[in-house]
Amino acid sequence: MRAISADYIYPISSDPIKNGVVFIDDEGTILKIGSISEFGISISELENNQTEIEYYKGIICPGFINTHCHLELSHLHSQISEKAGIAGFIKEIVSKRTNFSAALIEQAIEDAEAEMIKNGIVAVGDVSNNLNTFKQKGKGNLLYHTFIEVFDLYAGKADELFEHALGLKKNLQNFENFNLKLPASIVPHSPYTVSKKMLELINKHALENGDILCVHNQESAEENQLFISKSGLLYDALNKMGVAISSIEKTGLNSLQSTLPLLKNFSKLLLVHNTFTTLDDIRFAKKQIEKNTSKVNRIGIEEIKNGDADISICRDQISNLYWCTCPNANLYIENKLPNYNNFIKENVCVTIGTDSLASNWSLSVLDELKTISKYFPEIPLQTLLLWATKNGANYLGFRHLGVIEKGKKPGLNLLKNISELKISMNTEMQKLV
């Protein structure tokens, strides 16, 4: 057993505990948590090392959840130009992603996973287009939910490409053994890279499998423009690539409002990026989501009251809808951040993603929080940590993670150099458990 204390413990599911102490067993399961005074310990005893308790300056929070990563792109670290916009990014990724040896790609994946573990990440929502990451995932070093991503840019290819995705899912399941779960879903890449036929295949599969889905959303202004007026840089880039953009309907509406009604039957949905999402879009999605959620998979109020639902309750709001932000990738590609005030105002469940090393300088949830804190210093630490832990764990369905509560096994991170309970560029982290 270990007893660990710090200036503050943030259990996330309850208020921060000043001079908190948490007791864990050898497996990292939480046995007890409270303030030191509840356990009859004084601060001077702690500071003078008169107890068996490990004592740290800083705050302790649960292990971080990275809800959006593309581990298979790790070899493209520092290979893609910064601030080239989404059209430039796609062009470079397509031309560069295959010019590397299998050994180099494999090593980059292994190194990137090690980086995430060192950075206190305990679970990852990871997007796969191929099986390059499966061997690493099969080692069980980190928990993953794999999102097998599909896109059908050229007409008449949907069935064939969906079959390929099913094959990848099967391949991933072959890695499973008794102790290792490698859950997976088949998901659309983005509103503008899947046909209606492909969405139908995804919807049907989601219904049959109770899938959680994710989709890239409103990562660029051009994505909105594509649906509003069928014009702009992204339209031109897709046109040049010979993509079947004729299937994209000009709606006069933003991308999310144009396409969300077409994505159905999921149990939970994660919208990723949301850099150019407006307050109107958020309100639209909140209204739309109940219509799209699978009746079979929908979680009822009664189950929540009984405590047996795997569900997120964001500030007492029940949700099947999550909004992932990847601020550093947004700065890397578009040099723009979402307006977080809109998400807070609408009381929706936000999660954190690092995106890939092709579009980020690191795979660190703390680095993402630093960026949010720098540009939105008014967002409280408790809110940032909720986004970085509990919300992501709830979305991915890893119920033992995300909160420091008796019986859970969340991993513990120490955040150092926190002044006035604010994350700054000087904040550092140490993985304790």
List of residues contacting Zn ion (CB under 5 A):
355
Q: Which residues contact 208 (CB under 8 A, 6 or more apart)?
A: none
Quote the least distance from Cβ 220 to Zn ion, whole Å: 12
Quote the least distance from Cβ 73 to Zn ion, whole Å: 9
CA Rg value for the chain: 22
The residue among 122 and 326 lying less far from Zn ion, judged by its C-beta, is 326
The residue among 147 and 387 lying less far from Zn ion, judged by its C-beta, is 147
The residue among 5 and 354 lying less far from Zn ion, judged by its C-beta, is 354
The residue among 152 and 355 lying less far from Zn ion, judged by its C-beta, is 355
Q: Which residue is nearest to Zn ion (CB)?
A: 355
Quote the least distance from Cβ 66 to Zn ion, whole Å: 12
The residue among 275 and 294 lying less far from Zn ion, judged by its C-beta, is 275
Quote the least distance from Cβ 207 to Zn ion, whole Å: 25
The residue among 222 and 355 lying less far from Zn ion, judged by its C-beta, is 355
The residue among 211 and 355 lying less far from Zn ion, judged by its C-beta, is 355
Chain centroid to CA 20 = 28
Q: Which residues contact 158 (CB under 8 A, 6 or more apart)?
A: 152, 195, 197, 198, 201
| Closest of 269, 319, 266, 318 to residue 296, by C-alpha | 266
The residue among 7 and 126 lying less far from Zn ion, judged by its C-beta, is 126
Quote the least distance from Cβ 15 to Zn ion, whole Å: 34
Cα separation, 252 vs 250, whole angstroms: 6
Q: In what order do the strands lie in the sheet with 121-128?
A: 64-69, 121-128, 143-150, 184-188
Quote the least distance from Cβ 358 to Zn ion, whole Å: 9
Quote the least distance from Cβ 262 to Zn ion, whole Å: 20
Which SS3 state, helix, strand or coil, does residue 175 take? Answer: coil
Quote the least distance from Cβ 354 to Zn ion, whole Å: 10
DSSP summary character for residue 180: B
Beta bridge partners of 127: 147
Which SS3 state, helix, strand or coil, does residue 395 take? Answer: helix
Q: Which residues contact 77 (CB under 8 A, 6 or more apart)?
A: 108, 357, 358
Chain centroid to CA 220 = 19
Q: Which residues contact 71 (CB under 8 A, 6 or more apart)?
A: 109, 112, 113, 124, 126, 128, 133, 136, 356
Quote the least distance from Cβ 273 to Zn ion, whole Å: 7
Cα angle 252, 151, 185; round to 5: 110
Q: Around Cβ 170, how many Cβ atoms within 10 Å? A: 10
Quote the least distance from Cβ 39 to Zn ion, whole Å: 44
Cα angle 142, 145, 148; round to 5: 130
The residue among 68 and 370 lying less far from Zn ion, judged by its C-beta, is 68
The residue among 267 and 356 lying less far from Zn ion, judged by its C-beta, is 356
Cα angle 405, 411, 313; round to 5: 50
Quote the least distance from Cβ 72 to Zn ion, whole Å: 11
The residue among 93 and 313 lying less far from Zn ion, judged by its C-beta, is 93
Residue whose pair of structure tokens reads 């909140």 in the numeric block: 286
Q: Which helix (H) or strand (E) holds 430?
A: strand 428-431
